[in-house]
Structure 1
């Protein structure tokens, strides 16, 4: 003979986060996009200056990727463009145009996998990245950061 017992079903409700966590999240939502934009801008300025003054460690990689462009002109021009984009990111103006240009520039770095694959992976295997390949592949994260910034609504202070 089976007996049935009535069980009271209780709905699981997680505890709300402590108030300090809510305040921290609010501050992060408010300031993290600006910090991300400025940090990417500073990296662009830094890398651009290295290219412009002829001290970039990726000069050979860039030349191998874009062999059809004048080597004497490529690095200073590319460096100048990167400095301009970086300054625009730091300043935050013009926001959308700059972010689109930065995203396009970062996407262009993937040309190395097409134009100079021997510098990107070992033994012709795309799963075995070289240091150059890793350097370029990390731009996926930067492109996603740019996309996040493009999709983020700025809050207007009243």
Structure 2
């Protein structure tokens, strides 16, 4: 019985929780209060952070909003996959900020980046529901 309930409601809870993460963490960036703003500035040093960080924040909020509305899921997932590729850049461009001991000792920033693999996997699960025609994937 619990498994049936989870199967029926899991997709929508997953979508809404990913949306909340993107809206919340994205909104912090243009407000200038995100703890990763310095990491972004040091990673994407070729773009002015005063423009790029708010742009990235609005992009993330847009991902979250699109996740809420099922007709916009394909847009959300496309934007999300593009955004997540950028989130791993610090691992390669500023590894001294991400690792206490390469390749396994992660700093707090490195852990923040690694959690994106969970978001990516969750997005794949949500995207897998797009091809389903059963009612548990609809609102």
TM-score by length of 2: 0.89
Q: Would you say how many aligned residue pairs link Structure 1 and Structure 2?
A: 134
Distance of 2:40 and 2:70 partners within structure 1: 27
Distance of 1:26 and 1:127 partners within structure 2: 38
Q: CA deviation at 1:100?
A: 2.6
Query: CA distance change for structure 1 residues 154 and 28 in 2, over 3 Å: closer, same or farther?
Result: farther
CA RMSD of aligned residues (A): 1.5
- Quick check: 1:42–1:90 contact (8 Å CA) kept in 2? no
Aligned to 1:60: 38
Structure 2's unaligned 5+ residue stretches are none
Structure 1's unaligned 5+ residue stretches are 1-22
Residue 150 (str. 1) matches residue 106 (str. 2): no
Residue 75 (str. 1) matches residue 68 (str. 2): no
Residue 41 (str. 1) matches residue 41 (str. 2): no
Aligned to 2:10: 32
Higher relative contact order (Cα pairs below 8 Å, separated by 6+ residues): 2
Deviation string, structure 1 residues 11-41 (Cα, Å, up to 9, x no partner): xxxxxxxxxxxx3222211111110011100
TM-score by length of 1: 0.79
